[in-house]
Amino acid sequence: MMKREMILIVDDELAVVQALTRLLEIEGYHVVGTTDPKEALEVLRQNTPSIIISDQRMPHMTGVELLLKAHSLSSSTIRFLMSGYTDIDVVISAINDGHVYQYISKPWQETEFLLKIQSAMEYWREQQQNEQMVRQSLSEVKNWEALFQQTSSLMTQTMASSVRTLEKVIRAKDEELLFHSERVSQRALQIAKFIGMQPERMKNLEYAGIFHDIGKIAIRDQILHKAGRLDEDEFTKMKAHPAVGAEILRELPFMNSVADIVFQHHEKFDGSGYPNNRKGEEILLEARILAVADAYDALISKRVYRDGLSEEEVWTILEQSAGSHFDPQVVAAFRRLNETLENQEIY
């Protein structure tokens, strides 16, 4: 496959421009060369070269001055400074200041020169891919923010209508996500009632259960529904959802306490969770309850990448994780509650 990325060459010696142009065109690059720095700036105003190579010693404008201007016109362009050894102090200073990627010494050695260009081009391609991913992520976040703001404008001042509107936002993203959240909310309330939690705190827990995953509206479906293990980058994106969810909820003043619970629901009892590595009773009791209810529903429910586990398998996991992932007292209370409910069903 031919490499058609554009390289801009600037040198006041025409022979240098021509020699480098021939060398790079043989490698398949699209090359634009000029002996005039002002003309080079005009090229930059109309195009986005992958790489610019500039000589240091030129009349009217030095290479460093040109590359500084190039940075302001096209920040993604990789900048090379070409110089003789007598300018090495200038080169080092330019690189350290962050304006220049590398330098090319005069006279250049062709193999070394092409290796530097190849390395820089690979770096440029990688940066372009990363920027594209960021743009896509931001676009998705903005789309959901727009939906949230649009629905928020229709809210009344009552908490009940606000909750219904937020539920619609989740449903618009993923209906099963809302069903999961409602089940988690109800189980968390059962545990809270069983241990004697105050009604006001239970109301916050109820809402936290419903909205604990609202931050997932900012995560791409390819990650949420991936039929396999998430890679490191995908897991990093996934781990952002408690913070994103809390930020969304804090837009509603009466949801501040709910936001705190949502923010902490992936913390672990031993301090190995996220986002802040809280441990033990540093984690809100509501968040500790929510973590158990969330895990129970996630394990027992069928997912795109696996079938749901049996009750016995789920309880084995929960109890083995008590004291590390989960609050052991919450797990024990949930187990007693579950046994109580089973006995009631028998009778």
Highest mean pLDDT (candidates 64-78, 210-224, 284-298): 284-298
> What's the mean pLDDT when you consider all of the chain?
82
- Out of 4-18, 27-41, 163-177, 186-200, pick the least confident: 163-177
Q: What pLDDT, on the 0 to 100 scale, is given for residue 82?
A: 86
Residue 60 pLDDT > 50, yes or no? yes
Question: Which residues does 29 contact at the CB level (< 8 Å), separation at least 6?
Answer: 3, 4, 5, 6, 7, 117
Beta-sheet strand order (sheet of 51-55): 30-34, 6-10, 51-55, 78-83, 102-105
Highest mean pLDDT (candidates 106-110, 228-232, 258-262): 258-262
Pick the residue with more confidence: 145 or 217? 217
**How large is the average pLDDT for residues 242-253?**
82
Query: What are 257's two structure tokens?
Result: 């306490």
DSSP 8-state symbol, 303: B
Q: What pLDDT, on the 0 to 100 scale, is given for residue 319?
A: 94
**How large is the average pLDDT for residues 67-96?**
76
Pick the residue with more confidence: 309 or 9? 9
Q: Kind and range of the H or E element at 10?
A: strand 6-10
Contact 220, 212 (CB under 8 A): no
Cα(341)–Cα(69) distance, rounded to whole angstroms? 72
Query: What are 234's two structure tokens?
Result: 């995908």
Give the pLDDT band of residue 254 (cuts 50, 70, 90): confident
Considering the candidates 116, 173, 203, 216, report the single residue annotated as catalytic.
Answer: 216
186-214 pLDDT, tens digit each: 999 999 999 999 988 999 999 999 888 88
Pick the residue with more confidence: 218 or 78? 78
38-to-53, 59, 217, 257 alpha-carbon distances in Å? 14, 11, 48, 59
Give the pLDDT band of residue 298 (cuts 50, 70, 90): confident
**How large is the average pLDDT for residues 91-116?**
77
Residue 171 pLDDT > 80, yes or no? no
**How large is the average pLDDT for residues 291-311?**
80
- 203 counts as catalytic: no
Residue 169 pLDDT > 50, yes or no? yes
Q: Write down the pTM of the prediction.
A: 0.53
Give the pLDDT band of residue 25 (cuts 50, 70, 90): very high
Q: What pLDDT, on the 0 to 100 scale, is given for residue 166?
A: 60
32-to-10, 29, 112 alpha-carbon distances in Å? 9, 10, 21
Residue with token string 């200041």: 97
Give the pLDDT band of residue 216 (cuts 50, 70, 90): confident
**How large is the average pLDDT for residues 100-126?**
85
- Out of 190-194, 246-250, 326-330, pick the least confident: 246-250
Query: What are 136's two structure tokens?
Result: 């896509």
Examine residue 328 and say whether the peptide bond preceding it is cis (omega within 30 degrees of 0).
Answer: no
Query: What are 72's two structure tokens?
Result: 């302001």
Q: What pLDDT, on the 0 to 100 scale, is given for residue 287?
A: 96
Examine residue 59 and say whether the peptide bond preceding it is cis (omega within 30 degrees of 0).
Answer: no
| DSSP codes of every residue in 275-300 | SS---GGGS-HHHHHHHHHHHHHHHH
Three-class secondary structure assignment of 23-90: HHHHCCCEEEEECCHHHHHHHHHHCCCCEEEEECCCCCCCHHHHHHHHHHHCCCCEEEEEECHHHHHH
